[in-house]
Amino acid sequence: MTGEVQAFAFSPRTGATDPMNFPYRDVEAQLSVGCNAKSEWAYFWFSTAPNLNNTDTQDGWNLIKTRTKWDDEIVTTELTQDWGSQFLQFRGSDSAEISSIEANSTVLLELDWHGNDETFFEFTLRGSSAALTEIRTVCRSLGQSSAG
């Protein structure tokens, strides 16, 4: 309805590195980057809304303090999840995470998933630099066409 156009780059779908317990056995995840004429953002998508332990409950959303491993570097990461959402978003500025997506070959996400304890999802980042260049070209052209 608004006419706003966005572009996205997605990692291949992946399952947990170790099989999860029922009812989460078939959960898949993707790491995604999106953009529009004004901004870029990164997030994780899950085929089933993550049911996570040890989160900080806020008004309509949860704060998740966890770790990501970008190639060999382990980083403390904060994510947010709207209640019942299939998406986990990086908290704060996405620029550092998007730079890490471009600069690394893999990222390993650790989650304290209910009934499964520590659960890991590993995402390949091969081809991410080219994919990000492609969506940025689209988003830049949107900004130019709306400005002129």
Distances (CA, A) of 86 to 33, 48, 114, 121: 15, 6, 15, 15
Whole-angstrom distance, CA of residue 9 vs CA of residue 103:
15
Q: Please tell me the predicted confidence (pLDDT) of residue 144.
A: 64
Q: Please tell me the predicted confidence (pLDDT) of residue 1.
A: 62
Please state the domain extents for the chain.
Answer: 7-140
pTM for the whole structure: 0.90
Q: For each successive 10 residues of the chain (148 residues), what is the average pLDDT?
A: 83 96 95 93 97 95 97 96 96 83 96 94 95 93 59
Whole-angstrom distance, CA of residue 39 vs CA of residue 134:
15
Q: Please tell me the predicted confidence (pLDDT) of residue 117.
A: 82
Q: Two tokens at 42?
A: 């990164």
The CATH number for 7-140, chosen from 3.40.228, 1.10.12, 3.90.550, 2.60.40, is: 2.60.40
